[in-house]
Structure 1
Amino acid sequence: MGVSHDYFRAVDAPAAVRVMDQPGGPAGRGSPWDALDGRGVDPHVVLARLVAIARGAEGRSRLLDATPVWPAGACPEHWEDLPADSPWVTGPWIEELDPAVRDALADVDNARLPDLAARWARIEEFQPPYGAVDEAALQAFLERLVQLARRARDAGERLYCWSCL
């Protein structure tokens, strides 16, 4: 079972939580949200690698800063003590990405997109046995992600990641 990730923009965390009312998530069919189906691009590792490459810090990538928004409350310390039906176990989950992530993506010059996509396509997470990626599809996703980040920044909004099993 894999985890799906949708990236979307909202003015703040309470507004972002309203995405829970959207069947299929923010990028689902008929959704009114400005969202992007991120499929296997998890925010903590794969997106973090992209942001590091975009910033010119490819060898110094670290986990991405994101704040849990849903489920409400602090992230539990002892997962093994949670009931099987806990929303922390079953999802979906929403995280607010650090504004620096939004800005790093929004600042990418369009002329850099092909090279950035090519470099991102070579990360370990996109290589066998972990996975395989179509570079053209990755570049198309990157272009849409950069545009989403620009719209969020221009509107004074944040980027969020909705994840589900």
Structure 2
Amino acid sequence: MGVLYDFFAAPTDDAAAATIDLLGGPGGAEPSSAELQAALRANDRAAMRRLMMPKVRLSEHGFDVLCVKGIDPVVQMATLEQLLTGTSTDAIFSRARSGKAVAVRDEGERLVLTLTDELQAVLSAATEQQLDAVAVPWSQTDEFWGNGEPEILAHFLRQLALLARNATAAGNRLYCWVCV
């Protein structure tokens, strides 16, 4: 099944920590899509691929959320931040909000982690062209075993930037709920 990651926005660390026990995490249940069901019935692979791409949405629990698999909020986000800012990963990892656990359950099988304010700021300010451009070198990093898909990562980055802009506008911060 893999590791589930819900990137989300919350006003405080305490509010983010409270998501640890929500059924399905802050993202809750994925809403059903009639369009996706039709694509599945028609075996329209192009439509299925497009419709299954992660998107920022308001969850049943009231959080702006971006649900994905395979994009780690600590190491891969630090590499992304390094590519966007030129800051060394050592400096990024030394930041107080770099992957700080605000809630832990089941011996670490469920976590709520912080993302850095610096990453949120650079994502909020990034243009679509900047995000698309950084997707290529990001896809070639060791964390993606050198063969990530730049098109998929660019889509993810545009959505993560949307989440960051929405969070910044609302005075919220970015977090990630992790379920192993």
TM-score (norm 2): 0.72
**Does 2:148 align with 1:133?**
yes
In the other structure, the counterpart of 1:147 is: 162
In the other structure, the counterpart of 1:70 is: 103
Code of the residue aligned with 1:56 in structure 2: it is G
In the other structure, the counterpart of 1:54 is: 84
- SS of 1:38 mapped into structure 2: strand
In the other structure, the counterpart of 1:8 is: 8
CA RMSD after TM alignment: 2.0
Which runs of no fewer than 5 residues in structure 1 stay unpaired? 72-86
Count of residues in correspondence between the two structures? 145
Code of the residue aligned with 1:109 in structure 2: it is T
Shift of 1:2: 3.6
Code of the residue aligned with 2:13 in structure 1: it is A
Code of the residue aligned with 1:69 in structure 2: it is V
In the other structure, the counterpart of 2:72 is: 42
Shift of 1:105: 1.6
Shift of 1:94: 0.4
Indicate conservation of the 8 Å contact 2:140/2:148, yes or no: no
Q: Which range moves more in the overlay, 151-160 or 102-111?
A: 102-111
- SS of 1:66 mapped into structure 2: coil
Aligned match for 1:99, one of 117, 137, 158: 117
Aligned match for 1:111, one of 126, 129, 153: 129
* In structure 2, C-alpha distance between the alignment counterparts of 1:157 and 1:89, rounded to whole Å: 28
- SS of 2:69 mapped into structure 1: coil
* In structure 2, C-alpha distance between the alignment counterparts of 1:137 and 1:110, rounded to whole Å: 14
TM-score (norm 1): 0.78
Task: Give runs of aligned pairs for residues 153-164 of structure 1, distance below 5 A.
Answer: 153-164=168-179
Describe the shift of the 1:90–1:43 C-alpha distance in structure 2 as closer, same or farther (beyond 3 A): closer
* In structure 2, C-alpha distance between the alignment counterparts of 1:90 and 1:96, rounded to whole Å: 15
* In structure 1, C-alpha distance between the alignment counterparts of 2:13 and 2:108, rounded to whole Å: 20
- SS of 2:134 mapped into structure 1: helix
Code of the residue aligned with 1:140 in structure 2: it is H
**Identity, % of aligned positions:** 32
